[in-house]
Amino acid sequence: MGEAIPGRDAIAPHGVLLTDSGSEITIKKFTITHAGANIEISEQTQLEHGPVNGVQGPSEGYVYDQKVELAKSGEGWKIVSISPLRPGKPYPTTIVDPDTL
């Protein structure tokens, strides 16, 4: 048997089979603070679904805006938090609902 792929295997029982995916991140706003930095980003994701019961599903794309809080850590930065810029459900297919964590 092949090696388990965590993300793919986690969504497979729900009838979701992704054959390809890609994301790009655009920084929309970057603010330096006394404690670190705050960033607003826009994630643009494109997903290609495999067939389910012989029927090919459509491609899926979404834009997901997020805010990221960073703190200085030695010579670099550490992510303190990431959250949706506009919270609300339903979340995109590849986003983990924070209430389940």
Spatial separation of the C-alpha atoms in residues 86 and 29, rounded to whole Å: 15
Strand order of the β-sheet with 60-73 is: 18-32, 36-49, 60-73, 76-84
Spatial separation of the C-alpha atoms in residues 31 and 78, rounded to whole Å: 15
Name 82's bridge partners: 68
Quick one: pLDDT at residue 3?
A: 59
Segment 17-52, tens digit of pLDDT: 778 888 899 999 999 988 899 999 999 988 888 877
DSSP-assigned states of every residue in 42-84: EEEEEEEEPPBTTBPPPPEEEEEEEEEEEEEETTEEEEEEEEE
Quick one: pLDDT at residue 60?
A: 83
Segment 61-98, tens digit of pLDDT: 889 999 999 998 888 889 999 988 888 777 776 677 76
Quick one: pLDDT at residue 55?
A: 78
Could you tell me if 30 and 37 are in contact, meaning their C-beta atoms sit under 8 angstroms apart? yes
Quick one: pLDDT at residue 68?
A: 94
Burial of 77 (0-12, 13-18, 19+ CB in 10 A): middle
Spatial separation of the C-alpha atoms in residues 12 and 74, rounded to whole Å: 40
Quick one: pLDDT at residue 1?
A: 47
For residue 10, is pLDDT > 80?
no
Quick one: pLDDT at residue 9?
A: 56
